[in-house]
Amino acid sequence: MALAFDEYGRPFIILREQESKSRLRGLDAQKANISAGVAVARILRTSLGPKGMDKMLQSPDGDITITNDGATILEQMDVDNQIGKLMVELSRSQDYEIGDGTTGVVVMAGALLEQAERLLERGIHPIRVAEGFEISSRIAVAHLEQIAHKFVFSATDTEQLVQTCMTTLSSKIVKRCKRSLAEIAVKAVMAVADLERKDVNLDLIKVEGKVGGRLEDTELIHGILVDKDMSHPQMPKQIEDAKIAILTCPFEPPKPKTKHKVDIDTVEKFQTLRLQEQKYFDDMVQKCKDVGATLVICQWGFDDEANHLLMHRNLPAVRWVGGVELELIAIATGGRIVPRFQELTPEKLGKAGLVREKAFGTTKDRMLYIEHCANSRAVTIFIRGGNKMMIEETKRSIHDALCVARNLIRNNSIVYGGGAAEISCSIAIEAAADKYPGVEQYAIRAFADALDSVPMALAENSGLQPIETLSAVKSQQIKDNNPCCGIDCNDIGTNDMREQNVFETLIGKQQQMLLATQVVKMILKIDDVISPSEY
C-alpha cells in the first residue's frame, strides 16, 4: 500500500496494493499496446485477398467454424488483452457500418501501429504522430473521392452491381460460384430496395440454409421459406391462391387465470367437459373457415384433437412458426398478425399465389414455400451445401455481398480493388508530405508506407514477391498516371483492375481508412497501463 502525508503529517492512501499492481508507463506502455494490436493484425494478414487462407476456430462447446471473414475470426477468438479487444471492436464497427472490408481495416491499423512504433523510437512525440496520421487520413479520403468512378445502374441493368459483389465473393470459400451468388444477392437487394429514396431494408431478405445438394443449387425465392411442414401428414401439400390466417394465439381452450378447481366425480360431468372442449375446437376451426382462410399459420402448437379436426375440415395448418418468420409472412402476403380468434376477419388474411411443401433428401426433412405473394418485397435466399460449416460460411459471404449491393445503391461510387486505391493514396500522401514543414511530415510519410502494407499482403498471399511486385505496380501507376493499377492476384496477365473488373465501394474504403486512423490515434494516446492486482 502506497502512503503519502498531508501538511499536518496525517497519512492517506494514494493507490491501494500499489506494489502488487503491474504498471507500464510512457514509451513502454505504448510499445506494449502497439505489439498487442500488431499481433492481432498479423493473425488476419494471411486471410486478406482472393488467395487468402481460412482459419479454423473451435468454440468451447466443440463447434467448428471455418472462415476467412475478419469480423467472424475476431468475434470467435478469445482475446484477453484490452488493445486486442479494441481491434475486435474496430472490425465489428466496419462490419456493422459497411458489412465488408473487415480484414483490410485491421491489417491497415496494424501497419499504422508498426510505423508509429518506429517514429516513437526516433523520439517523436505520440501526439505529433497522431496529428500527422489525422492529416494523412484526410488527404487519403479526399484523394479517393477524386479517383472514384460513378456508374449508372437501373432495375434492368445491374451488371456493375454484380461485378462489385463478385469482387467481394472472390476472397471467400464460395468463389467458384461467385457469379451466380452475386446475381442472387443483387436480385434480392433490388427486390427490397426503394430506389427513389436510395434505401434498402436488409431485414426483408431472409437467408435460409439446408444441408444437402450442391452450392450451385442455391436459389432466390420471391416469397418466404419456412423450416416447417404441415401439422398433419394427410393435409394437402400444395395450395393455390391461398388465404392465410396468421395467428399468435394457441389453438386450444382458454385457460382460466384463477386458481379454482373443477371436481369431476361422475362420468356425465367428464363427458360434459369433453364436449365443451370439443365445442371450443369446433368454434375455432369454424371461425377460420367462416372468414375464408385456406391455410392457418400459428405461432404456437395445437392439441392433437384440434389437429385431427383441422384435417377433417380440410383446413391445412402449420404450427410452431417463429415470430420473425410470422412477421415476414405478414409483410409478404399483406396479412395481419391476429392475437385473438375473436379479432379474425377476412381483411386480415394474407394472400399468396402458391403455398407448397417440399421434401429434401431421403429423410423426413420438409420445408414450406410461400410464393407469388401479394407484396413481393420480402424474399428468401435458400442456400444448399455439403455440410453445415459450408452453409454457415456461405451465409456470411452472402451477407457481405448484400451489404456491398446496399452500399452501392446508397452511393454509386466505386474505386478499383487489388490494392490500386491504397497505392494511389500512398503516392498522393507522399507528394503532399513536402508541404508540411513540421515533425508531422515524418508521420505523413509513415502513413503512406503503411498503406503499402495492404497491396504487399495481397501479393504475399498470392505467392508473389511482395516488394518486387509492389515496386513494379507503383512505378506503373506513376508512369501511366493510372490509379487503376493494382496487384494481379489471379495471375490474369494485366495489372489494370478496370480490365479485371475488380471494384470496391468508395464509402467502404473511406470508412476503412478513417476507422483505422481513429483506433491508432486512441492507442497512441495511452501512456499508462495499470493492471488490477492479482489475489
Tell me, yes or no, whether 11 lies in a domain. Answer: no
* 69 among known catalytic residues: yes
Tell me, yes or no, whether 427 lies in a domain. Answer: yes
Rounded to two decimals, what is the model's pTM?
0.82
Same domain, residue pair 237 and 365: yes
Same domain, residue pair 274 and 290: yes
* 266 among known catalytic residues: no
Tell me, yes or no, whether 7 lies in a domain. Answer: no
Same domain, residue pair 69 and 127: yes
* 103 among known catalytic residues: yes
Q: In whole angstroms, how large is the CA radius of gyration of the chain?
A: 30
**Total number of residues shown for the chain:** 535
Same domain, residue pair 244 and 350: yes
Single out the residue in 375, 400, 427 at which a domain terminates.
375
Tell me, yes or no, whether 403 lies in a domain. Answer: yes
What distance in Å separates the CA atoms of residue 470 and residue 456, rounded to the nearest whole number? 6
Tell me, yes or no, whether 281 lies in a domain. Answer: yes
Same domain, residue pair 441 and 465: yes
Tell me, yes or no, whether 327 lies in a domain. Answer: yes
Residue 432 is part of a domain; what is its CATH number? 1.10.560.10
Same domain, residue pair 89 and 167: no
Counting Cβ atoms within 10 Å, is residue 250 exposed (0-12), middle (13-18) or buried (19+)? middle
108-to-111, 389, 476 alpha-carbon distances in Å: 5, 29, 23
Tell me, yes or no, whether 119 lies in a domain. Answer: yes
Tell me, yes or no, whether 1 lies in a domain. Answer: no
Judge contact between 41 and 106, C-beta under 8 A: yes
Same domain, residue pair 56 and 182: no
Residue 161 is part of a domain; what is its CATH number? 3.30.260.10
Choice among 65, 67, 72, 103 that is catalytic:
103
Same domain, residue pair 201 and 321: no
State how beta strands 149-150 and 413-416 pair: antiparallel
List the chain residues with pLDDT less than 50: 1, 535
Helix H or strand E encompassing 466: helix 466-480
What distance in Å separates the CA atoms of residue 187 and residue 416, rounded to the nearest whole number? 23
Choice among 95, 100, 400, 496 that is catalytic:
400
Sorted by sequence, the CB contacts under 8 Å of residue 136 that are 6+ apart come out as 429, 443, 444, 447, 448, 517
* 505 among known catalytic residues: no
Domain containing residue 306: 223-375
Choice among 46, 65, 67, 69 that is catalytic:
69
Single out the residue in 411, 435, 463 at which a domain terminates.
411
Same domain, residue pair 432 and 506: yes
Same domain, residue pair 310 and 342: yes
92-to-72, 75, 98, 101, 257 alpha-carbon distances in Å: 9, 8, 10, 10, 46
Same domain, residue pair 229 and 136: no
Q: Which three cell numbers stand for residue 526?
A: 495511452
Judge contact between 346 and 338, C-beta under 8 A: no
List Cβ<8 Å contacts ≥24 apart for 385-389.
385/209, 385/211, 385/213, 385/214, 385/215, 386/211, 386/214, 386/215, 387/211, 388/211, 389/64, 389/65, 389/66
Counting Cβ atoms within 10 Å, is residue 61 exposed (0-12), middle (13-18) or buried (19+)? exposed
Residue 299 is part of a domain; what is its CATH number? 3.50.7.10
Choice among 102, 168, 218, 469 that is catalytic:
102
Judge contact between 139 and 443, C-beta under 8 A: no
DSSP secondary structure string for all residues of 258-304: S-------SHHHHHHHHHHHHHHHHHHHHHHHHTT-SEEEESS-B-H
Residue 314, phi-psi category: left (phi > 0), alpha (psi -120 to 50), beta (remainder) = left
Same domain, residue pair 343 and 395: no
**How many domains would you assign to the chain?**
3
State how beta strands 503-505 and 413-416 pair: antiparallel
Q: Closest Cα partner for 73 from 92, 94, 60?
A: 92
Counting Cβ atoms within 10 Å, is residue 454 exposed (0-12), middle (13-18) or buried (19+)? buried
What distance in Å separates the CA atoms of residue 270 and residue 128, rounded to the nearest whole number? 87
What is the DSSP code (8-state) at residue 503? E
Confidence at residue 448, expressed as pLDDT on a 0 to 100 scale: 93
What distance in Å separates the CA atoms of residue 239 and residue 230, rounded to the nearest whole number? 12
State how beta strands 219-221 and 350-359 pair: unpaired
